[in-house]
């Protein structure tokens, strides 16, 4: 996919200590690649970030997985992003504050109940795969809007 300047669109991945091959990050990257985006940090127009990796990417539209929105400074940065956002969090995560998430403009919020910060339902592979499918579908819809 090309930007308005005729360059390939790029998405930056910031993982904050989470494995780059984690299923949620892989699914997000795959959704962008399937839409014709390149993975790269130079001149990125969007972001995929997980956990504390969001702290270095809090200025781009994109996918924010388990962001530390309990941090007031980061929360304020998220609220100022222009462009569509998908903010995915788990009620089991210490960094997730549903009331704050609901006030982030331009954001679609996906709140999951049984998954941990890695988006895994411990001991239940079927539930983990169901959560991954829900997240993937929302990411694919977001990519179309970017």
What pTM did the predictor assign?
Answer: 0.86
pLDDT one-digit tens code per residue, 9-48: 999 988 776 555 578 888 899 999 999 999 987 789 999 9
Q: Of 111, 106, 116, 98, which is closest to residue 146 (Cα–Cα)?
A: 106
Q: Is residue 61 part of a domain?
A: yes
Element (H, E) at 112: strand 107-112
Q: Is residue 130 part of a domain?
A: yes
Q: Of 141, 115, 123, which is closest to residue 24 (Cα–Cα)?
A: 115
Number of domains making up the chain: 1
SS3 144: helix
Owning domain of residue 22: 10-145
Phi/psi at 66 (5° precision): 50, 50
Q: Is residue 30 part of a domain?
A: yes
Element (H, E) at 34: helix 23-34
pLDDT one-digit tens code per residue, 66-123: 888 888 888 888 888 888 999 998 888 777 887 888 888 888 999 998 888 888 899 9
| Domain CATH code at residue 127 | 3.40.50.1820
Q: Of 82, 83, 89, 79, which is closest to residue 49 (Cα–Cα)?
A: 89
Q: Is residue 37 part of a domain?
A: yes
pLDDT at residue 5 in the model:
60
Q: Is residue 3 part of a domain?
A: no
Q: Is residue 5 part of a domain?
A: no
């Amino acid at each position: 996919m090309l930007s308005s300047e005729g360059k390939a669109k790029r998405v930056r991945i910031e993982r904050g200590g989470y494995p780059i091959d984690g299923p949620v990050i892989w699914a997000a990257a795959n959704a962008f690649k399937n839409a014709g985006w390149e993975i790269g940090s130079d001149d990125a127009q969007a972001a995929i970030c997980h956990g504390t990796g969001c702290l270095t990417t809090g200025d781009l539209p994109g996918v924010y997985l388990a962001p530390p929105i309990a941090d007031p400074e980061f929360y304020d940065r998220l609220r100022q992003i222009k462009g569509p956002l998908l903010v995915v969090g788990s009620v089991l995560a210490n960094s997730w504050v549903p009331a704050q998430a609901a006030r982030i403009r331009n954001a679609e919020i996906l709140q999951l109940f049984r998954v941990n910060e890695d988006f895994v339902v411990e001991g239940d592979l079927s539930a983990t795969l169901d959560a991954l499918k829900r997240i993937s579908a929302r990411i694919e819809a977001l990519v179309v809007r970017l």
